[in-house]
Structure 1
Amino acid sequence: MNAFLNALGGKLAERWLALLAVPGLIYLMTAAVAVTLGRRHWHDAGRLRARLDALSGAPGAHSPGTVVLAALAVLAGAAATGAAVQAVGTWLEKAWLTASRGPVTTWLTRRRLRRWQAADSAYRTALVAAGRATIAGADDADRLTGEAERLHAARDRVALAAPRHPFWTGDRVTAPERRVWRAYRLDLAAAWPHLWLLAPDGARAELTAARAAFTSAARLLAWSAAYLALGAWWWPAAVIGLLTAVTAVGRGRDAAESFADLTEALADLHTKPLAETLGIPCESGLTREVGAALTRALSKGGE
C-alpha cells in the first residue's frame, strides 16, 4: 500500500507540474518581462538585466527564509495561473462542441449552413453534369468528374453534413451519430455505452488518447488567449499568443477528426457483435432493420 501511495503521489506531482506549475511559471516569467520592458523598451535586454541586478542586490535576496517564501509564492502563483487557464480551457472545449444557443452562436451556425448549402448545391450540379458527360462519352467527362470531386471535398471541408454547430469541431465530433443513423437507423448515443464495453482495450485506448488530445488543444488555446492579453504591455507576447492559437486550432481540428473517425469505426466494427450479444439476428450483416431493432432494444422500447 505504501508503494502504491508513493507511486500515486509521484504521478500526481508530475501531472501537477506538467499541467499547472511549469506552464504557469513560464507565463509569470513572461508577464514579468512584459511589465519590466513595456511597449517602448520591448527589446531592451540591458533594462531587464538592470532589474535582475536590483532584485539580486536587495537585502532580502540573501536571506534563506525570504528566498524560500518567495519561491513558494511564485509556485503558488504559477499553480493558480495554471488552474485559471485550465478552467478557461474547459469552457473553450465545451464551446467548441456545444450547439447553438445565443445570438452569436446562432449567427455563426447559420453562416456555416449557408456556406455548406452553397457548396452542396455546386457539388450536386457538377455531379449531374459529370454523369451526363460520362454517359454521352463527351471529351470533357474526366475534367467534369474531377471538378465534381473537388467540389465534394470543398463541401466536406465545411462539414460532412448540414451544420448544426457554430464551429467545425462540433459538427465533426457529432457527424458519426448522424451518419450511423442514416446508414443503419442506429441511435449511436443509446448504443455507445454498450459498444464501449464490447470494444477491445486497444480501441478504447485510441479513443481516449484522441479525446485527451482534444482537451489539450482547448487548454493550449486558453494559454494563447492569456499571452494575447499580455500583448497590451509587450507586443512579442501577442505574437506568441497568435502562433499558439494557430497551433491550438490545428491540433483541435486534427483531434476532433481523429476522434470522430475512431468513433464511427468502432460503431461499424462492433455493432454486429452487440446485436448478437442482445440476441438480435444479424446473419446478413448490419442492416437498417438490425439497427432499428437495436435502437428499440437499447432505448427500452422508446424511439
Structure 2
Amino acid sequence: MLSSFWEAAGAKLAERWAAISAPALVFWLGGLLAWVRSKGGFHALKEPADWLAKQSTPAQITIVLMILLGVSASGVIIERLTTPVLRLLEGWYWPCFLKPLRHKLVEWKKAKATEDMKRYQELTPAVDAGTASSEQLTEHGRIALLQRRSPSPAPDMPTRIGNTLRAAETSPKYKYGLGVVSVWPHLWLLLPDTARKEIATARVSLDASVAACIWGVLFVLFAPWTLWAVPAGLGVAVVAVMAWVPSRAEVYADLLEAGFDLYRRTLYEQLRWPPPRNPRDERTQGELLTRYLVRGSDGTIPVWDGDHRSPP
C-alpha cells in the first residue's frame, strides 16, 4: 500500500517538475547556444567539459544537481510571476503614466461595442427571417462572438484578454445574480471531477502561455552574446500576447462560465437555499445567496427543515 502511494506521489512530483522545468530548460539551453555562438562555436564547451571530467564523482553529481536545481528554481520563479503578469495583460495595475492610455482604450472599446450592437440589431431581422446574405450572416456571427467576449453591460478593460476574462466573471452576475468572487470557491468544491479537471487544465494552459511571454522577454537579456536573441525573444513574447494568451483565455473563460451554467443548482441544493422558480427569480435568489455567503444572516427566512425548503 505504502509503496504504491510513494510510486504515485513520485510520478506526480516528476510530472510537476517536468511541467515547471521544461520551459526553463529550453530557455537556458537557448542562452547556452547564445554563449556558444559568441565564443565561435561548440568547441567552447570543451574547456568546461574537461574541467568537469577532472572532478571527483561526488563533485560531478553535486554540480549537475545544482544546475538542475537552478533550472527548476527559475521555473518556479516564473510560475509565481504568471498571475501578476496576467493581471497586467488584462489591464490591471498599469503604471500611472499609462492611465490616460488605458482610459482611451476602454472608451474606444465601449464605442466600438455600441456600434457593433447597433449593427447587430440591424442585421437580426434579416437573419431571423432567413433572408440575410452570406456576408450578413458572417458579420452577424462575428458580432455575436464579440458580444460573448465582452463584459456586461459594456467593456471595461483596455485589452482583449482583460475583457474576455471579465466577461466570464460578470456573466454569472448578469444572468443569475451570482457573484463569481464570492461563489466560485463553493461551486468549485461541488463540480464533478471531469469538470474540475477540464477547468484546471485550461487554467494551466493559460498560465503556460503567460509564462512563455515572460520567458520571451527575458531571453532578450542574452543579447550581449548574440543579437539574434532580441528578435527571437520579442517574437515569442509578441506571439504569446497576441495569439496564445487570448485564445487560451477564451477557453478558460468558456469553461468557467459553463461551470455556473450547468452546476449552479447544485450550489442551491447543498446550501439548502430555495432554488429559483423562473429566470427573473433566479437573479433575485442569486443576489440573496451571494449576500448570504459573504455576510451570513440572522434572518428567519428561508426556513430549513431537513431536506425541505420553504420559499423566502
After superposition, give the CA deviation of every residue in 1:115-143 in whole Å (9 maximum; x if it has no partner).
21221232244346557999xx9xx9758
After superposition, give the CA deviation of every residue in 1:141-167 in whole Å (9 maximum; x if it has no partner).
758955862772585498444333343
Unaligned runs of 5+ in 2: 299-312
After superposition, give the CA deviation of every residue in 1:220-244 in whole Å (9 maximum; x if it has no partner).
2221122222234313333432343
Q: CA deviation at 1:77?
A: 3.3
Answer yes or no: is the 8 Å Cα contact 2:151–2:168 preserved in 1.
no
Equivalence for 1:113: 106
User: TM-score normalised to the size of structure 1?
Assistant: 0.76
1:251 aligns with 2:244: yes
1:227 aligns with 2:219: yes
Q: 1:198 to 1:119 in 2, by over 3 A?
A: same
User: TM-score normalised to the size of structure 2?
Assistant: 0.74
Paired with 2:45 and 2:163, the residues of 1 have a C-alpha distance of: 50
Q: CA deviation at 1:268?
A: 1.8
Q: Kindly provide the amino acid, as one letter, of the partner of residue 17 in structure 2.
A: W
Give 3-state SS (helix, strand or coil) of 2:205's partner.
helix
Equivalence for 1:282: 276
Q: Kindly provide the amino acid, as one letter, of the partner of residue 280 in structure 1.
A: P
Paired with 2:169 and 2:27, the residues of 1 have a C-alpha distance of: 40
After superposition, give the CA deviation of every residue in 1:181-206 in whole Å (9 maximum; x if it has no partner).
22233323333233223322211111
Paired with 1:243 and 1:110, the residues of 2 have a C-alpha distance of: 28
Paired with 2:52 and 2:204, the residues of 1 have a C-alpha distance of: 44
Identity of aligned residues (%): 26
Paired with 2:206 and 2:121, the residues of 1 have a C-alpha distance of: 38
Q: 1:264 to 1:257 in 2, by over 3 A?
A: same
Q: What is the aligned counterpart of 2:182 among 183, 190, 194? A: 190
Paired with 1:146 and 1:8, the residues of 2 have a C-alpha distance of: 53
Q: 1:133 to 1:82 in 2, by over 3 A?
A: closer
Q: 1:32 to 1:199 in 2, by over 3 A?
A: closer
Give 3-state SS (helix, strand or coil) of 2:207's partner.
helix
Q: CA deviation at 1:106?
A: 3.0
Equivalence for 1:79: 72
Equivalence for 1:298: 293
Equivalences, count:
290
Equivalence for 1:27: 27
Answer yes or no: is the 8 Å Cα contact 1:224–1:245 preserved in 2.
yes
Equivalence for 1:163: 155
Q: Which runs of 4 or more aligned residues in structure 1 lie more than 6 Å from their structure 2 counterparts after TM superposition?
A: 131-134
Paired with 2:264 and 2:64, the residues of 1 have a C-alpha distance of: 55
Write the mapping of 1:89-238 to structure 2, written as runs, cut at 5 A. Answer: 89-97=82-90, 99-100=92-93, 102-104=95-97, 106-127=99-120, 129-130=122-123, 146=137, 149=140, 152=143, 156=147, 159-161=150-152, 162-238=154-230
Paired with 1:129 and 1:79, the residues of 2 have a C-alpha distance of: 56
